[in-house]
Structure 1
Amino acid sequence: MAESEHPQRTPFYGVLMIIAALAAAIAVTYYGPTWFRVAVYIVAVPVVAVGFVMTLRDYSR
């Protein structure tokens, strides 16, 4: 297995994506214009979804 194909990296990147999206959503909750908050929330939803899939992907094959 090549260094770039290590199976434990994908779940780690998924967790980082989830944390980053949640942190961005929390950061704009109280500050910033409404349009920016909505844009961050809309972007955060698919990022969390992709991170969730990457984190829980099955490598047992």
Structure 2
Amino acid sequence: MITRNMTIEQVLRKYPQTRQVFSKFGLECMECQIAQFEEVGHGADVHQVDVDTLLKELNEAISD
């Protein structure tokens, strides 16, 4: 399960299929160094994305 406290890099490393979800929500920081430190919740806040919606879609992506 993906949580708001996981870093973007942790999520992408463990669940590469989530890349499309991050892109859909405008979180294109997958290639930058900040991804290793930025938590999903913080990234959502910075990009003005509803974190609950983002988490729902990320977790749906890994349950397929």
TM-score (norm 1): 0.32
Q: More helix by proportion, 1 or 2?
A: 1
Question: Which structure ranks higher in relative contact order (CA pairs < 8 Å, sequence separation ≥ 6)?
Answer: 1
Which structure has the bigger radius of gyration?
1
